[in-house]
Structure 1
């Protein structure tokens, strides 16, 4: 009988200090400056392909506010309606703007206006630049009038560094050959790679074995449907 590990691994760190910045240093520097008490800055919009780090950076911004005792509101295309601004928030985040349907676009627009009236910092993200978002014109205009940053995915060396940093944080040994296999046989999407690393950490505990390429292959063979992020549609 296989032993299942208890969920005792460390939660993921969301702060800026845990980031491998890569070519996104200007965006990170700007977000770091959006601290409570410094006054409300112009809205921020981050855009880039899947895996470029939009959500990760928005979470770091939220963590920065929460670390100072502030409360934030987080919404995305899947957040149930209605959307209501809490007077105690210092930051409102809207993620996955490219996927907002008509009702959520209306909610986002109303939230944007109310946040501006109440002096609440606004930040948002999506896969497309504001001009190309399939949203109503008034919302598109507001998402684009502040600071807009196009995010770049990490280069291979930076991706290696990010995975190594997370492995070190977990206290696990991640051999070079395992890193090479991950980068050769998996999507470079950092969210996917981190999910694979998280699963591999637990799988190695369950198997009572060190992390190796054969162990990774065994895990993939046993969990292939869980680890493929976007399986092809059924015919």
Structure 2
């Protein structure tokens, strides 16, 4: 019964700015983002691996700036006529394929007052494909804010938040065990917490180091099969 009550009370994840975890490893990128609207030429690229917090920060900025949000790879590419109202623009996953003419237009207009451009990506703009020579030079000149993989301080805070979102109170032993052994990735941390919750529910046991070890050993065995 207690298990059922805990599941029913599961909290929804929060993506508020105050929930973003700042540490020495990402402080410079956060400072660069917060310098808006005084970005160089009105443009900034926020670059980092999956789970580093790019979308969290970018969406917070978009709300603050009242920006139009575009996602690269969407089914219908935006029409340039939709972007003539002078608002700032956020392009998520900009390294996943944005039409050259659209990207060139948005980079050029970013220097106009009120038309800032924020791009998120996993790879630096200098490596993105571009057939237009003028676009290539503009991508090479973009100011880049780098978000690294989470350090121990961030990963610990993320784990505690993920457990809290599921109304689980982990032991200090479990947190320490996970920090020493899991991949340095927020998506992987989320996966571990999800699977711990599901395994504890299936076996009617509390979330513990023993269950975490069971999952990590299973992952290691699966990895070995493909080596």
Alignment TM-score, normalising by the size of structure 2: 0.70
In 2: Cα distance, 1:64 partner to 1:10 partner: 25
Which is greater in Rg? 2
Structure 1 vs Structure 2 CA RMSD: 4.0
2:69 corresponds to 1:73: yes
Tell me the secondary structure at the aligned position of residue 90 of structure 2.
Answer: strand
What's the CA shift for 1:159? 1.3
| Structure 2 unaligned residues grouped into runs of 5+ | none
What's the CA shift for 1:111? 4.2
The residue correspondences of 1:151-162 to structure 2 (distance < 5 A) are 151-162=147-158
- For residues 111-144 of structure 1, the C-alpha deviation after alignment (integer angstroms, 9 at most, x for no partner) is 4446666843210022222222233343343344
* Conservation of the 8 A alpha-carbon contact between 1:19 and 1:162: no
The 1:44/1:127 distance shift into structure 2, 3 A limit, reads same
Aligned to 2:19: 18
Tell me the secondary structure at the aligned position of residue 214 of structure 1.
Answer: helix
In 2: Cα distance, 1:9 partner to 1:105 partner: 44
Tell me the secondary structure at the aligned position of residue 42 of structure 2.
Answer: coil
| Structure 1 unaligned residues grouped into runs of 5+ | none
In 1: Cα distance, 2:175 partner to 2:136 partner: 40
In 2: Cα distance, 1:162 partner to 1:145 partner: 33
What's the CA shift for 1:173? 0.7
2:107 corresponds to 1:121: no
What's the CA shift for 1:62? 2.6
In 2: Cα distance, 1:214 partner to 1:203 partner: 11
The 1:141/1:193 distance shift into structure 2, 3 A limit, reads farther
* Conservation of the 8 A alpha-carbon contact between 1:40 and 1:121: no
Alignment TM-score, normalising by the size of structure 1: 0.68
In 1: Cα distance, 2:84 partner to 2:202 partner: 46
The residue correspondences of 1:119-198 to structure 2 (distance < 5 A) are 119-136=114-131, 137-168=133-164, 170-198=166-194
Tell me the secondary structure at the aligned position of residue 88 of structure 2.
Answer: strand
* Conservation of the 8 A alpha-carbon contact between 2:125 and 2:140: yes
* Conservation of the 8 A alpha-carbon contact between 2:55 and 2:92: yes
What's the CA shift for 1:220? 7.1
Count of residues in correspondence between the two structures: 217
* Conservation of the 8 A alpha-carbon contact between 2:52 and 2:150: yes
Question: Which structure has more helix as a fraction of its residues?
Answer: 2
The 1:39/1:176 distance shift into structure 2, 3 A limit, reads closer
2:54 corresponds to 1:58: no
